[in-house]
């Protein structure tokens, strides 16, 4: 598995990974338009880069076709990295791809960007993702109850963290 910067051509693959509106909201908190639109997607990524220093990445197999996507930024003051918009190709879920993606992404974060910890946000209604993050070593740090409204639902937002000392590999 290889980590590389996102390229505009990758959008054509990634746009198929979020097939329904609720899943889209769980993935990006509606930061991107639904359904995904290339111009909007690229504009949001550009805006996030300017405001927060986010860099988008894909993970690929040998054929260079993306099987995972995420954005990453570093807070120099806290020495923490942050993953955003984490998603794995649906056909690759349950195959170990996400676990390998996180092994590669965390190695990049800790070894290349020299952070002491990495955190991410997951909605509590996304139990599968939350359990996965716990499995790879993230712990819940802060939960903001009633942080996000999706239609008639209110979702808690969980900030999860993994410190360099907690890494599973």
Spatial contact of 11 and 42, defined as CB atoms under 8 Å apart: yes
In this predicted structure, what is the pLDDT of residue 169? 53
Contacts 24+ apart (CB under 8 A), 138-147: 138/162, 139/166
What average pLDDT is seen over the chain? 96
- Which phi and psi angles does 29 have, rounded to 5°? 55, 35
State residue 166's pLDDT score.
Answer: 76
Mean pLDDT of 114-126: 97
- Reported as a single tens digit per residue, the pLDDT across 107-117 is 999 999 999 99
Domain residues for the domain of 132 are 2-166
pLDDT at 46 over 70: yes
Stretch 18-29: mean pLDDT = 96
Assess whether pLDDT exceeds 80 at residue 61: yes
Q: What is the pTM of this model?
A: 0.96
Q: What percent of the chain has pLDDT over 90?
A: 95
Instruction: Give per-residue pLDDT as tens, 67-80.
Output: 999 999 999 999 99
The token pair at 137 is 């070593």
For residue 168, pLDDT over 90 is answered with: no
128-158 pLDDT, tens per residue? 999 999 999 999 999 999 899 999 999 999 9
Total domains, the chain: 1
Which CATH number does the domain housing residue 154 bear? Answer: 3.40.630.30
> In a 10 Å sphere around its CB, with 0-12 CB exposed, 13-18 middle and 19+ buried, how is residue 36 labelled?
middle
Residue 19 pLDDT: 87
């Amino acid at each position: 598995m290889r980590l590389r910067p996102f390229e505009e051509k990758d959008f054509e693959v990634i746009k198929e990974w979020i097939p329904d509106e609720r899943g889209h909201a769980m993935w990006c908190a509606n930061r991107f338009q639904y359904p995904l639109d290339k111009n909007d997607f690229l504009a949001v990524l550009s805006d996030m880069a300017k405001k927060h220093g986010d860099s988008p990445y894909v993970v690929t197999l040998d054929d260079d076709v993306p099987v995972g996507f995420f954005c990453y930024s570093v807070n120099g003051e806290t020495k923490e990295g942050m993953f955003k918009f984490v998603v794995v190709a649906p056909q690759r879920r349950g195959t170990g791809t996400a676990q390998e993606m996180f092994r590669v992404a965390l190695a990049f974060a800790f070894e290349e960007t020299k952070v002491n910890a990495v955190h991410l946000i997951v909605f509590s209604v996304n139990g599968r993702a939350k359990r996965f993050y716990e499995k790879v070593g993230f712990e819940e740090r802060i939960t903001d109850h009633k942080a996000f409204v999706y239609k008639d639902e209110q979702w808690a937002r969980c900030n999860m963290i993994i410190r360099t000392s907690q890494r599973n590999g």
